[in-house]
Amino acid sequence: MSEIKAKGYLSPLSEEAKTSKWAYIKEWLCSTDAKRIGVLYLAFATFMGIFGGVLSILIRIELAQHGTVLFEDPSTYNALPGLHATAMIFFFIIPAFTGVANFVVPIQIGAPDMAFPRLNLAAFWILPPAALTTFFGFFLNSLPEFGWTAYPPLSNNVYSNMIGADFWVLGLVLVGVSSTMAAINFLATIFNMRCKGMKMFQLPLFTWSLVVTSFLILAATPVLTSALLMLTFERMFPGAFHFFNPAGGGDPILYQHLFWFYSHPAVYIMILPGFGLISSVIQTFSRKHIFGYALMAWSMMAIAVLGFLVWAHHMYTTGIALEVRVGFMFLTMLIAVPTGIKIFSWLATMWGGSIKFDTPMLFALGFIAMFTIGGLSGVVLASVSVDIQLHDTYYVVAHIHYVLVAGSMMTIFAGVYYWYPKITGKMYNRFWGKVHFWITAIFLNVTFFLQHWMGVKGMPRRYYDYDPQFEWANAIASYGSYVLFIGQLIFVANLIWSWKNGEDAKANHWYGDGIHLEWFIPSPPDHHNFHEPPEWKPIVRHHEHPDQPAGLWHSYKD
Amino acid sequence: MAAKEASIMEGPGAGEENLGVTNGKIGMWTFLVMDAMTFAGILAGYARIRWGSPADAPWPDPLDAFGVVGIQLTAFNTFVLICSSVFMVHVLAEQMRGNMEAAQKWLMATIFGGMIFLGIQAFEWTHLIIDKFGLVVLAGCNENFPATFYLLTGFHGLHVAVGVIYNTFLLVMMRRGKVTEEHTSTTEIAGLYWHFVDLVWILVFTFVYLIPVHPPGS
């Protein structure tokens, strides 16, 4: 057995692990080092992302042509959209951000590790069993067919009398526990473990976004848990519990209120870390400080607060009072203001900058362009009268995919490419990185853009079959999705191949332009990140300040 | 390397810039935000179901459903839990004075209070299941009255049980000398949880037992 040669935090800790591969792997799986846990999260998220992608391909194969294509039994198809959403939201996007943040946040604030390392490891290890529980119906051939929203009465024991649904609900509760544990850990870390000089308004915006996201997770996730608890009781003991059953004096709309009280903030849980991450990427590759730093931080808080006040815009067609709907419409449209502040601040950051088009920057630019489309279609959906027409059509599907694929997923790619040299100490293959970007950017639009049109013309979402007039558009969307999926396999292959064969990365790999603390330690970082506690030289953001006239680039060490 | 390993097990401490409290305390406070929102979700559900009851399945008046003696018993239970919370304050006070013997006695009283609460609740549940709630349903009232009752008080009772275990663990650590007069933060964090459980009970008690369907004078 040859000796394991790895640098920094990748190197084996114990003598035994230096020569034995199994001891080395065991050391990884039981490590409380936030960096290693971050990599575990990312590996898990990659696996679940491919799983969710396969489910979406099955959906697209079925929809490629009018009539039956792949599934003889429509009920098999009915399970897929919900499971695809569950896999992508709870097991891909959220863990992927948690993974990146686990690696980056402690270093960015100058801390040796997270505040509760063992809690961190526990939070990760809840996830694989949670995934197994959520999708256990695959082994029992009893999949829940009520979408990812699980509205009663469809999801109660009369209409969804399958055991797989109970496993699904239990799995979601476990995911909630895991992400809450991670959120508590991030807040304690960021509030209490900053190095000297790292005041709250010196924090990198990615770290700021984790503060806001963690509060969102803490306040929103338990409400979903409470709704799922009630649903479980109603499913398990239908004779005694009737929370959502009108026949027993309950209220089915109550579930929707509780569900969306979580699930609307959840979309900000899935995009705010991306916002923070993009701010880092754009500032590095434009060689300019982020424009309007304080406002960027405050606008994230504004989005978080408003995010709690808009949940009923998912429920315009449930018969709630018109006055209430108009109020929610107003608040929903208000979110476009802080989001607009962010978009324009990114543009202003690039303005006059020295822009370099590396893969992370390409993804950042693609994100800004296409997330804006998703944002605008969101404003369309926010208006009550239009939404009544578009509710539960493919317009909503197009909107959510522009926000989550062009939004969250592209920011995850930007972040992974951006920090890949730091995480692995190797450089990814630039050519295939760019190929991955162009395939993603082009075929994302091929897949999803026509779905706006289908929705406006009235094609409902989640259905097994559709009117023949939509056949050509669905065929285009399906072929687009196949190429999009293959493009993601290029990404995974590139990262794995480069980890072994890539050239060595420098400490401050991106032209020496990284200004946050992670770029001032070796790539990959050592165990405990810093050999001596770092001291952050505060960035002076007043442009007229004599020490830093407009445009001067901050350097941590000079 | 061994020294570094040890520091991993204990977890890193506060950084140069901090909020002036221990990491653990921020952890407990943020956990309580989460827990409070869980109760908020269930309480909001309770409120919606109760005040949205259809006319043919009205919400029974708590005074009729539990009976005067039932409400008085639970009021006594509330008193026990509040006392237990006060005892927890004494634990911390004695610990800060360095009087660990007295602190352990107060902690035993705290745990005892929690156990009394759970005992009375178990008695009450048995009584309601066997004698009372069947009548509520038979009278044509909203069947969610018992359902929400069990969910809310059960979820809270679970918190009390966890608190009793938590405090017992703290007591054992004090007895073994692992928690000494220097570790006031450990006691304070346990106290935060225990006071929270007490505070939530005030809300649950008010909602479920006290707010009448027909206010006096109406």
Instruction: Map out the domains of chain B with their CATH numbers.
Output: 67-211 (1.20.120.80)
Whether B14 has its CB under 8 Å from any CB of chain A: the answer is yes
**Predicted local distance difference test score (pLDDT) of residue B1:** 34
Length of chain B (residues): 218
Token pair listed for B195:
């006071």
**Best to test chain A binding among B4, B19, B22, B23 (most A CBs inside 10 Å):** B23
Whether B185 has its CB under 8 Å from any CB of chain A: the answer is no
Q: List Cβ neighbours of B69 (8 Å cut-off, separation of 6 or more).
A: none
Whether B17 has its CB under 8 Å from any CB of chain A: the answer is yes
Minimum-distance CB partner of B11 among A33, A117, A261: A117
Length of chain A (residues): 558
Minimum-distance CB partner of A258 among B5, B22, B41: B41
B41 with A257: Cβ contact below 8 A: no
Minimum-distance CB partner of A192 among B1, B8, B19: B19
Q: Which residue of B lies nearest to A216 if distances are taken between CA atoms?
A: B34
Cα A198 to chain centroid, rounded: 26
Whether B50 has its CB under 8 Å from any CB of chain A: the answer is no
**Best to test chain B binding among A13, A14, A32, A191 (most B CBs inside 10 Å):** A191
β-bridge mates for residue A393, sequence order: A460
Q: What is the mean pLDDT of residues B76-85?
A: 97
Q: How many CB pairs under 8 A join A and B?
A: 163
Nearest to A408 by CA among A381, A447, A453, A444: A444
Whether B154 has its CB under 8 Å from any CB of chain A: the answer is no
> A162: distance to nearest CA of chain B, Å?
23
DSSP string, A528-556: TB-SS--B--PPP--TT-TTS-TTPPP-S
DSSP string, A20-48: -HHHHHHHHHT---HHHHHHHHHHHHHHH
Whether A113 has its CB under 8 Å from any CB of chain B: the answer is yes
Nearest to A268 by CA among A177, A330, A338: A338
Q: What is the mean pLDDT of residues B71-75?
A: 95
Q: List Cβ neighbours of A533 (8 Å cut-off, separation of 6 or more).
A: A110, A195, A196, B15, B16
* Average predicted confidence (pLDDT) for chain B: 89
> A115: distance to nearest CA of chain B, Å?
6
**Best to test chain B binding among A193, A194, A214 (most B CBs inside 10 Å):** A193
Provide ipTM, 2 decimals: 0.91
Whether B74 has its CB under 8 Å from any CB of chain A: the answer is no
**Predicted local distance difference test score (pLDDT) of residue A321:** 93
B15 with A257: Cβ contact below 8 A: no
Can you tell me the distance from the alpha carbon of A35 to that of A18, in angstroms, rounded to the nearest whole number?
Answer: 19
Residue A139's CB is within 10 A of a number of other CB atoms, namely 10
B41 with A225: Cβ contact below 8 A: yes
A194 with B16: Cβ contact below 8 A: yes
Whether A112 has its CB under 8 Å from any CB of chain B: the answer is yes
CB < 8 Å to B34, chain A = 180, 183-184, 218-219, 221-222
CB < 8 Å to B31, chain A = 180, 184
Minimum-distance CB partner of A241 among B35, B44, B147: B147
Interface of A with B in 431-450 (CB under 8 A): none
Q: Residue with structure tokens 């690696």?
A: A103
Minimum-distance CB partner of B17 among A112, A189, A195: A195
Can you tell me the distance from the alpha carbon of B75 to that of B73, in angstroms, rounded to the nearest whole number?
Answer: 5
Give the CA distances from residue A405 to residues A195, A275, A444, in Å, rounded to whole numbers and listed in that order: 35, 14, 8
A229 with B151: Cβ contact below 8 A: yes
**Predicted local distance difference test score (pLDDT) of residue A249:** 85
**Cis omega before residue A204 (within 30°)?**
no
B15 with A109: Cβ contact below 8 A: yes
CB < 8 Å to A194, chain B = 15-18
Minimum-distance CB partner of A196 among B4, B17, B142: B17
CB < 8 Å to A180, chain B = 31, 34
Token pair listed for A265:
């903030």
Vertex B117 angle, CA B115 and B122, to 5°: 95
Q: pLDDT tens, position by position, for chain A (558 residues)?
A: 467 778 889 988 888 888 888 999 999 999 999 999 999 999 999 999 999 999 999 999 999 999 999 999 999 999 999 999 999 999 999 999 999 999 999 999 999 999 999 999 999 999 999 999 999 999 999 999 999 999 999 999 999 999 999 999 999 999 999 999 999 999 999 999 999 999 999 999 999 999 999 999 999 999 999 999 999 999 999 888 999 988 888 899 999 999 999 999 999 999 999 999 999 999 999 988 899 999 999 999 999 999 999 999 999 999 999 999 999 999 999 999 999 999 999 999 999 888 999 999 999 999 999 999 999 999 999 999 999 999 999 999 999 999 999 999 999 999 999 999 999 999 999 999 999 999 999 999 999 999 999 999 999 999 999 999 999 999 999 999 999 999 999 999 999 999 999 999 999 999 988 999 999 999 999 988 998 889 998 887 765 555 554 445 555 554
Q: Which residue of A lies nearest to B34 if distances are taken between CA atoms?
A: A218
The b-or-e profile of A408-419 (16+ CB within 10 A means b, else e) is bbbbbbbbbbbb
Q: Which residue of B lies nearest to A200 if distances are taken between CA atoms?
A: B17
Whether B32 has its CB under 8 Å from any CB of chain A: the answer is no
DSSP A383: S
> A525: distance to nearest CA of chain B, Å?
16
A117 with B17: Cβ contact below 8 A: no
**Best to test chain B binding among A108, A232, A243 (most B CBs inside 10 Å):** A243
Can you tell me the distance from the alpha carbon of B105 to that of A22, in angstroms, rounded to the nearest whole number?
Answer: 50
Whether B4 has its CB under 8 Å from any CB of chain A: the answer is yes
